[in-house]
Every structure is written in C-alpha cells, then in structure tokens.
Amino acid sequence: MITIDRATEQTELAASPALRRKARRLRKLTDLAFHAAMIAICAAWLAPVALLVMVSVRTQNDITGNGLGAIPSSFSLSSFGAAWNEGGEKGAIVNSLVVAVPVVVLELFLGSLAAFALARFAIPGRRSLLLLMLAGNLLPPQILLIPIYTFTQQLGIYDTRLALIIVQVGFGIGFFSFVLHGFMRGIPRELQQAALVDGASVVQIYARIIMPLTRPALAALGALAFTWAFNDMLFAITVLTSSSKMPVTPTLLGLQGNYVSQWNVIAAGTLIAAVPTVLVFLRYQRYFIGGLMLGAVK
Amino acid sequence: MSATATMGDQGRRLSGSRRRRGGGLPPVLLAFILVPLLVEATWVLWPAIQGFYLSTLKWDGITSPEFVGSSNYRAMIHDPVFQTAFKNTIIWLVLFGGLSILGGLGMAMLLQRDRRGVSFYRSVLFLPVVLSMTAGALVWGVFLQPDGPANQVLKLLGLGSFQHFWLADPKVALYSMTLPALWRQIGYLMVLFIAGLKAIDPQLYEAARIDGASRWQEFRHITIPQLRSVNGVVIAVTIIDALRSFDVVWALTRGGPYHSTELLSTYMYSEAFQSRQLGYASALAVVIFLLASAVIVTHLVRAFREDSD
C-alpha cells in the first residue's frame, strides 16, 4: 500500500537522468568527505608514532636544548644501540620469543583438544564446562597474582621462564577453547559421521579431519595469541624477578627508569619493542582481524 | 543461528545412536577435556579461590600468616588511598569504557562497508592493538611531556593557558592517561563491532528505507538492537579491560602523583609486591573481582530480560 507507492515513486525518480546525475554527484561528494575525514583520523592515529620515530633519531643535546616537541635538528641512531645493548632489549626480545612461541603452541593445542571434545561430542554438561573455562579467562588477573606468586615459589619454579609459560597458557586456554569450539561446531557433521562409520578413532578424527579444517581459525588465533603473549607484563613481573629473564615489556619499563628524560633512548626502545608484533601484524593482517571477529559474534 | 540449531540436532541424533549401540563416549575424550581443564584449574581456577582465602590473612609472604577474618576489608574503608583508587577506578570504567565503546562503534559505522581505502584505514586504527599497552603508553608519554608537542601545539594556537604538566598534575593526570588507553582500545572494539554489523541482514535496512525511515531511525531501531549479541561481548570485554587496566598507569605514573592516578589494580600490585601486604592486597583483588562480576552480572541479567521480552 503506502510502502509500495513509495517504492514505485523511488524507481520513477531514479529513472530520471537528471536526478540520477545529481545523485551521482552527491555520492562523489560524500565519498570525498568520507576519505578526507578518515585521512585526518588516521593521521591523528599515526601522529604519536611519527613523533616517536622523530624523537628516537635526535641527540640528547638537541632534545634538552630545544625541547621534545621541537623539529629535529640532529640525527643519530645511537639511541637504538643504547636501548638494544645497554638497555638490555637484545636479551629481552629473545626472552619474549622463548616464552611467547611455546605459549601460543600450547594454548592452541590444549584449547583445540577441549574445543574438539566439547563441540563434536555430546559430553554431559558441556555448556557449563565451556563457560567455566571461559570464565577463568575473564577473571581479573589481579586475583590470581598472589596465589600464583606463592604457588610458583612452592614448586621451586619461581623466577623461571617456564613458570611464565605455564601461567600464560593456563590463563589463555579458556578463551581459545571457547572460540575454537564456536568454529568447530560449524564444521559439517557428515564428515565426522562418515569417518566414524569407517571405524576411525577419536584421535584420528581430531588429527585427520577436524584439525585440518580448523587451520584458518588456528592461524587467526595464533597471530592474536602471539601479540598477547609477547606483550604481557603483569604475569611476567609477578613470577619473574631477574632482569636477565624479563621479557620485553617489563624491560621497556626498566629502560624508562634507567634513562629518565633521555627520551631518545626510551623512544628507540619503544620502537624496538614494537617491531616483532608489528611485523606479525603486517604479515598476517587478514588473519588478525579475522581472529578477533571469530570471538565476537556468537 | 538456524545452522547451529540443526548442528545441535544432528549431534544429539548422533550421540543417541551411539548410546543405543551400547558404546559410551570414548575414554580418550575424557583426556581431551581433562588435560586442558586441569591446567586451567591448577593455574587459574584454584588460585582464584585461594585469592579469596588469602584476603582473610595478615601475611607478608615470609613469616607465618595470621588469620584476621574481615579486618582487611574493614581497614579498607578507612584507607584514603583505597578510597581514591576506588573512585578513580569508577571514573576510569565510565570514561575509558564509555568513550572506547562510542569511538569503536563510530569507527565501525564509518568503516563497515567494503570500499576503496577501507582496509587501509582499518589497519591504521587497528595498529595500536598489536603494541603492548606499555609501549602505547610510552608513545603518548613523549607526547604529553611538559616540553612535548601537546603543550607546544597549544602554545602555537595561542592557547598557552591550557598548557599542563599532563602527567604530573594530580588534577589532570588520570584523564591524560585515557588517551593512550583509548588510542589502543578503539581499534580493537571497532573490529568487534564491524563483525557485528556485517552479520546484520541487509534486507532489514532495505525494508526500513522503503518505509521511509531516517538514518537515525535505522540506527536506533535496526542497528542497535541487531548488535545485541556483539554489544554483550563488547561490554563484558570493556568492563574487564577497564578494571584490569594496569600497564598504562604503571608505565606512566605508577599511580602518582600523590596516588592521583591510582587504580585498584595498581594499588593492589604495589601493596602486594612493594609493601608486601599480601593479605590486604588479596582483599583489594577481591574487590576488583566483585566489581567486575557485579557489573557483568547486572548487564547479563538486563540483556537476558530484554531477550525474553
């Protein structure tokens, strides 16, 4: 009735060539406004990073003489050397990698086991189990710090990178089980049924059928998990105390403490600390965003 | 939704036929669940329970602990630093949480449609998410130094009277710190919202347009209600992130000057590992936990009620 009238009216309007031209011009104009606005926003988003790069290549004299906000009047890469060598970032990046890589592998492996069992079989109470596991990941980590601190001491693994690996894996499992469960539930049943009829074991179904089909999700989550593990600070400063074992984020803070007001070194250190995750991001961009989206819509 | 429902039916049918054949679930499945669950229980679930118990102790971590019941909690009420930290945490929750959700949704609305340039813009906004919060904070720390660009620009614009010691002035330090936090969080929430927006059936908008709905009406009556499931995730994530925020404050001010930027999380950490008041710190952690649960449960209850309407 009214809606149909309006619809026909609209088609009639759209048919008129003059109006169509006008609409096209309007669309071009809104496009232009959109890009102008987005370029401004992106510039604002990147400005602090650009500033950091500028500060990192200035000399200390230039900064103290002309102020942090001044246009660079010097160029030197020595601040990178200071952060890398004396600042301890060389060892810190290694520590972060030594922790983050096993964390990602173990988190995804254990998470996928639980997700597989809960998504593909009628386990009694599977919803509650899944929610319990997710709830563990949603806890504010502050409540865990002191118990984990005392527990690692009792076990004699306090101040080891192993402790940090275990703690991070434990904390991450819940989230990855939850997201992988959502993904695995979407794999068609028929594949598994056919295999069951052929007498395939549970392990075979997991390894030969479900896991290969889960690979895109694993790639996405792996990229995401890597940045989380690599960037962690709170768990690191809870279970570690030797600076030689500290990963990169706490080391960056140490750098800030040791190079007070030497902003070129702090800026260089911050850039160095960001390189690994930014590289992973640039390489696996597509997956990254996919990984977050996997978790978002249920 | 309908796809998952069928999956569930098939699952039930499958398991039903298995049971009729007399075979239960394969025992190896038990290991598939128990091993991950055990790891999580040992390192997360059990410690969380222990956290509650520790909050009833007076303990420095070295000498033997003494049971003091609720006295840690009673001490909190008269602790001015706790009061500041609590107030700041609420401010942080509302300000950081609210603005990051608005910003994330706004950016998602702008960038939801796939067209030229969009994936580049998305990547730029998402880039801070891959940095550590500490690095993100330091990036802005440079910007906000007394002789840094923030003040320089204000001076250039003739707004010299607005210059501040952004991170050293107790009146503004907490608010300055929302900048790095928002800078990082908005891209993250944007991605979640884009996922939600993409899942909305475009026919709903077509129908609304034919009915002559305005842009605002479309937003109010289609977009927001259709985003419900994502909103739930976003709100939960934001509350939890707000309450566990630690790195940004620790990197920039460590809670100072004069505890003006102290959050419950930073106060908890310094009480635990610097003052070595493990019992009192545990009680603070319990408060953080209760705040998180209270807000999330209230939200879930509301979402539930709306669902059943």
What is the predicted pLDDT for the residue at A189? Answer: 87
Bridge partner list, B66: B58
CA B171 to chain A, closest CA, distance in angstroms equals: 23
Residue-wise pLDDT for B121-136, tens only, equals 999 999 999 999 999 9
Judge contact between A266 and B137, C-beta under 8 A. no
* Three-state SS at A55: helix
Which H or E run includes A176? Answer: helix A161-185
Of chain B, the end-to-end C-alpha distance in Å amounts to 19
With beta carbons under 8 A apart, name residues in chain B contacting A121: 11, 15, 25, 29
pLDDT, tens digit, 9 for 90 and up, residues B190-232: 999 998 998 899 999 999 999 988 889 999 999 999 998 888 8
Quick one: pLDDT at residue B242? 94
- pLDDT for B12 equals 44
CA angle centred on B88, ends A247 and A246, rounded to 5°: 5
Per-residue model confidence (pLDDT) at position B33? 94
Q: Does position B142 have pLDDT exceeding 50, yes or no? A: yes
Selection from A65, A67, A44, A88 nearest residue A265 by Cα = A88
Residues in chain A within 8 Å Cβ distance of B143: 48, 51
Among candidates A38, A143, A189 on the partner chain, residue whose Cβ is nearest the Cβ of B10 = A189
| pLDDT at res. B306 | 66
The CA radius of gyration of chain A, in Å to the nearest whole number, is: 26
Which H or E run contains B247? helix B247-252
How far apart (Å, rounded) are the C-alpha atoms in residues A62 and A64? 6
Size of interface A-B (CB pairs under 8 A): 294
> Which two tokens mark A251?
């080391």
Q: How far apart are CA B253 and CA B235, in angstroms?
A: 27
Which residue's structure tokens are 């989206």?
A293
The pLDDT score that the predictor gives to residue A222 is 92
A159 secondary structure, DSSP code: T
Fill in the amino acid letter for A232. D
Largest CA distance in chain A: 81
3-class DSSP assignment, residue A229:
helix
Selected for mutation to probe chain A from B18, B44, B133 (highest A CB count within 10 Å) is B44
Can you give the pLDDT of all 298 residues of chain A as single tens digits? Answer: 344 444 444 555 556 788 888 888 888 898 899 999 999 999 999 999 999 999 999 998 888 888 888 888 888 899 999 999 999 999 999 999 999 999 999 999 999 999 999 999 988 888 899 999 998 988 899 999 999 999 999 999 999 999 999 999 999 999 999 999 999 998 988 888 888 888 888 999 999 999 999 998 999 899 989 999 999 999 999 999 999 999 999 999 999 888 888 899 999 999 999 999 999 998 888 787 777 777 665 4
Contact A290, A183 (CB under 8 A): no
Residue carrying structure tokens 């310094």: B270
Q: Are the beta carbons of B229 and A6 separated by less than 8 Å?
A: no
Question: What are the structure tokens assigned to B241, written together?
Answer: 């992130």
Identify the CA nearest to B42 among candidates A183, A72, A148. A148
In the predicted model, what is the mean pLDDT of chain B?
A: 87
Contact, A254 vs A246, CB < 8 A? Answer: yes
Matching residue, tokens 């603070």: B284
Torsion sign across C-alpha atoms A266, A268, A271, A276? negative
Whether B290 contacts chain A with CB within 8 A: no
* b/e per residue B157-172 (b: at least 16 CB within 10 A): eeeeeeebbbbbeeeb
pLDDT at A274: 94
Q: Chain B partners of A114 at a C-beta cutoff of 8 Å?
A: 32-33, 36-37
3-state DSSP helix/strand/coil percent for chain B, to nearest 5? 75, 0, 25
What is the rounded distance in angstroms from the CA atom of residue B116 to the CA atom of residue B121? 10
Using an 8 Å Cβ cutoff, are A186 and B7 in contact?
A: yes
The whole-number pLDDT of residue B304 equals 67
Instruction: Copy the structure tokens of residue B192.
Output: 């979640």
Which of helix, strand or coil describes residue A68? Answer: coil
Contact A141, A228 (CB under 8 A): no
Calculate the alpha carbon distances from A40 to A45, A70, B152 in Å: 9, 22, 20
Q: Check residues A270 and B300 and name the one with the higher pLDDT.
A: A270
Q: Enter the pTM of the model.
A: 0.87
What residues contact A60, with CB distance under 8 A and at least 6 apart? Answer: A262, A264
Using CB atoms within 10 Å of the CB of residue B14, give its burial: 0 to 12 exposed, 13 to 18 middle, 19+ buried.
middle
Contacts of A51 in chain B (CB under 8 A): 139, 142-143, 149
DSSP state at residue B160: G
pLDDT of residue A2: 42
The answer to whether the CB atoms of A38 and B289 lie below 8 A apart is no
Q: Over the stretch B54-85, which tens digit does the pLDDT of each residue have? A: 999 999 988 889 999 899 999 999 999 999 99
Backbone angles phi, psi at A186, to 5 degrees: -80, -5
- The stretch B93-102 carries a mean pLDDT of 96
**C-beta separation of A148 from B296 below 8 A:** no
